[in-house]
């Protein structure tokens, strides 16, 4: 499964028959719970349907959140 990494893995993603799986870890899901709620989701994943436009703004916000979180962990 492809992933973007900084000091640790920030997010994973994968393509499926009917959706794109986006895995920003449980903290990424929890931080954006309200915005993610309109998509099928779980503790650590969200599914973006292929028949709808990918919410790039939301994905960007989640990745930026994970970058900041990763940098804070690194400083400790």
CA 4 to chain centre: 10
Q: Quick one: pLDDT at residue 74? A: 84
- Name the CATH topology of 3-75: 3.90.1150
- Say if residue 15 is exposed, middle or buried (CB neighbours under 10 Å; 0-12, 13-18, 19+): exposed
The pLDDT confidence band at residue 76, using thresholds 50, 70 and 90, is: confident
The string of pLDDT tens digits covering residues 32-67 is 999 999 999 999 999 999 999 999 999 999 999 999
**pLDDT at residue 11, as a whole number:** 97
């Amino acid at each position: 499964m492809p992933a973007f990494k900084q000091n640790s893995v920030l997010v994973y993603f994968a393509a499926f028959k009917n959706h794109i799986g986006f895995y920003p870890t449980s903290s990424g899901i929890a931080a954006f719970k309200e915005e993610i709620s309109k998509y099928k989701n779980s503790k650590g994943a969200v599914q973006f349907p292929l028949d709808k436009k990918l919410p790039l703004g939301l994905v960007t916000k989640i990745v930026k959140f994970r970058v900041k979180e990763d940098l804070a962990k690194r400083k400790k």
